[in-house]
Amino acid sequence: MSNNIKINVCMGTGGIAAGGDEVMAAFDLELRKAGLEADVEKHCAVHRVGCRGFCARDVLVDVSVDDVRTTYQYIKADMVPRLVEEHIIGGVPVEDWVVGQDYHDFHDRQEKVVLADCGQIDPEDIQAYLDVDGYKGIVKALSEMSPAEVIECVKASGLKGRGGAGFPTGMKWQFCAANKSDRKYVICNADEGDPGAFMDRSVIEGNPHAVIEGMSIAAYAIGAAEGYVYIRAEYPLAVERLHKALSQARAHGFLGKAIHGTSFDFDIKVKLGAGAFVCGEETALIASIEGQRGMPRAKPPFPAAKGLWGKPTVINNVETLANLPFILRKGAEWFASLGSETSKGTKVFALTGKICNTGLIEVPMGIPLKEIIYDIGGGIEGDRLFKAVQTGGPSGGCIPVEHIDLPVDYENLLKVGSMMGSGGMVVLDENDCMVNISKFFLEFTQSESCGKCTPCRIGTKRLLEVLTRITEGKGKKTDIDLLLDMANDIKDTSLCGLGMSAPNPVLSTIKYFRHEYEAHINDKRCPAAVCRSLLTFTVIENLCKGCGMCLRACPAGAITGEKKKPHYIDTSLCVKCGACFDVCKFKSVIKE
């Protein structure tokens, strides 16, 4: 038997929730029982997010014997004895539990730049980052390039901001560099507030040094000596890793005074956000760092001219910054060769919702939407029909099935009424109601509206009221036109990006799914059977076995019936909670 055994257990959020701790303990126990020496480690540097991006399959376990790696999926603690006995002692992998072709499909179609080292290197060890050529980008910039040349390089690469709006990064830097000032700042925007997005967190947790190096490159280019990372307090592990990485970078002389023997000084502070979506907006973020209510102000002046403490400031998103070391190291041409004609490089997406393979993915810009959903994502769960994919979070829109061949990049997403956003991609199927989805996002933007400007404060409230009454069956014939009218006004007149994009979910769902709005308003019917007020629950007599499960589950006492005889739901008492529908094992309760 080999002495070279290595076991990696996936310990991301998914891994831990699926029982990763227990699996690790079981391996320790079984190996000790068998008198074996093996190296059991936590895999998954991308702790709390999802190792390799595929946590739907957790607990994932790698068993390597003499460097031949076998990956197992859905492993539980009670499966460990068989793995140890058959594979590690017997030398024969347990084929039943090995990942299938879909696991490889999920990975093979991806192209990893930003995520390349996430999950491969130890994020808490600077040496691991140095071993994969870490900090060579900033060293190259310092020793071979002038700040202007760095800006030229980033401009030539075609890199655009990954936070949502897609403004060319090099141009932003050039504006800031041109402003003379005694002080300038670089801010890393890690206030990832979009529901359904966890790209930035995974990058910081998986490879914090890449973000630090990216910030250093930006600082050198614009002439800043101080930087801030504005990060959500809800990301405790990312914050901890960032602090560790910062102190290691200082110890190795990549931060501090006279970096790499040059006259370049730079250091970074961490500021914790306090939970406000609007702080993703640049000027609101600046107000928040200054300790104020995070409210945006009118632009211009742009932060590049007047930013933090009134000084010229560049604000870049985490993923944007994490691309920079690679661009400096491998060159602008290499980066520009990736992606589509107008959008260069790759994009990280959080692929979630009603899809088989949920997880974190990185793909070249311009990849057809179909490939993401069917090849990487493995198609729709339970063979139901694909309805739409929601991108861009609360600021984005829904892309319907007729645009399934759309190449995914900034320009194309805008063309169909959505946007890149920070990269959330939520797949919806036939059981999702588009009016409900639109209402869901408006609930979010309405409560996150900072209240400074009237169109956003009052407008989102009114939009939400109209959407709510439509989903309750109280919609009026004129409501669709009213929604469109208000939505366009809010878009045109709001102060900041939050308000300007808040109506997008409404506009895009009306554009592509107007018939669903009409069904709610005219027929008082929710075609996807989601909106509770419009549902009726009934028992199909010939399917009902009279088991009494629904009767016991009903909180309103609306169900009657004798044992072993068909039951009956009194619709006047029914509160439409759906408990009967959930508990019925014979599918005899229907909702419509």
Partner 1 sequence: MESSMLTKLNTIHSHFNNNGGNIISALQDIQSEFGYIPEDAVYWFSDKTGIPASKFFGVATFYSQFYLKPRGKNIITACCGTACHVKGSDRIIFRLQDELSLAKGEDTTGDGLFTLEKVACVGACSIAPVMLVNQKVYGKMTPDKMVKELKTYEESPSE
Residues in touch with partner 1 (CB under 8 A): 13-14, 16-18, 48-50, 54-56, 58, 192-198, 201-202, 233-235, 272-277, 288, 290-294, 350, 352-354, 358-360, 390, 393, 424, 426, 428, 432, 437, 440-441, 444, 448, 450, 555, 577-578, 582
Task: Decide whether 47 or 567 has the Cβ nearer to partner 1.
Answer: 47
DSSP secondary structure string, 457-473? HHHHHHHHHHHHHHHTT
DSSP secondary structure string, 483-539? HHHHHHHHHHH-SSHHHHHTTHHHHHHHHHHHHHHHHHHHS---TTS--GGG--EEE
Shortest Å, Cβ 522 to partner 1: 25
Task: Yes or no: say if 214 and 329 are a contact pair by the CB < 8 Å rule.
Answer: no
Task: Decide whether 254 or 444 has the Cβ nearer to partner 1.
Answer: 444
> Can you read off the two tokens belonging to residue 531?
């909106």
Distance separating alpha carbons of residues 589 and 113, to the nearest angstrom:
50
Distance separating alpha carbons of residues 222 and 289, to the nearest angstrom:
20
Task: Decide whether 273 or 400 has the Cβ nearer to partner 1.
Answer: 273
Shortest Å, Cβ 548 to partner 1: 17
Task: Decide whether 30 or 191 has the Cβ nearer to partner 1.
Answer: 191
**For residue 183, how many other CB atoms are within 10 A of its CB?**
14
Task: Decide whether 396 or 475 has the Cβ nearer to partner 1.
Answer: 396
Distance separating alpha carbons of residues 43 and 122, to the nearest angstrom:
9
Task: Yes or no: say if 221 and 173 are a contact pair by the CB < 8 Å rule.
Answer: yes
Task: Decide whether 30 or 448 has the Cβ nearer to partner 1.
Answer: 448
DSSP bridge partners of 361? 349
Shortest Å, Cβ 493 to partner 1: 23
Shortest Å, Cβ 327 to partner 1: 26
Shortest Å, Cβ 238 to partner 1: 10
Shortest Å, Cβ 81 to partner 1: 25
DSSP secondary structure string, 336-359? HTSB-SSSBSEEEEEEEESBSS-E
- Dmax (CA) of the chain: 87
Task: Decide whether 61 or 360 has the Cβ nearer to partner 1.
Answer: 360
**Neighbouring residues of 265: CB distance < 8 A, sequence distance ≥ 6:** 225, 256, 257, 258, 259
Task: Decide whether 183 or 252 has the Cβ nearer to partner 1.
Answer: 183
Residue owning tokens 């600046």: 286
Shortest Å, Cβ 335 to partner 1: 27
Shortest Å, Cβ 159 to partner 1: 24
Shortest Å, Cβ 196 to partner 1: 4
Task: Decide whether 113 or 287 has the Cβ nearer to partner 1.
Answer: 287
Q: Is 412 helix (H, G, I), strand (E, B) or coil?
A: helix
**In Å, what is the CA distance from 327 to each residue of 206, 364, 478?**
19, 15, 53
Task: Yes or no: say if 363 and 346 are a contact pair by the CB < 8 Å rule.
Answer: yes
Task: Decide whether 202 or 412 has the Cβ nearer to partner 1.
Answer: 202
Task: Yes or no: say if 75 and 57 are a contact pair by the CB < 8 Å rule.
Answer: no
Distance separating alpha carbons of residues 419 and 188, to the nearest angstrom:
22
Shortest Å, Cβ 542 to partner 1: 27
Distance separating alpha carbons of residues 150 and 171, to the nearest angstrom:
12
> How far, rounded to the nearest angstrom, does the alpha carbon of residue 78 sit from its chain's CA centroid?
32
Closest CA to 55 of 115, 98, 12, 116: 12
Helix or strand holding residue 148 (H, E): helix 147-157
Task: Decide whether 174 or 446 has the Cβ nearer to partner 1.
Answer: 446
Shortest Å, Cβ 472 to partner 1: 15
Shortest Å, Cβ 174 to partner 1: 30
Distance separating alpha carbons of residues 82 and 88, to the nearest angstrom:
9
Task: Decide whether 425 or 510 has the Cβ nearer to partner 1.
Answer: 425
Shortest Å, Cβ 203 to partner 1: 12
**For residue 194, how many other CB atoms are within 10 A of its CB?**
24
Closest CA to 408 of 391, 387, 428: 391
Distance separating alpha carbons of residues 187 and 214, to the nearest angstrom:
11
Task: Decide whether 216 or 438 has the Cβ nearer to partner 1.
Answer: 438
> Can you read off the two tokens belonging to residue 323?
């691309």
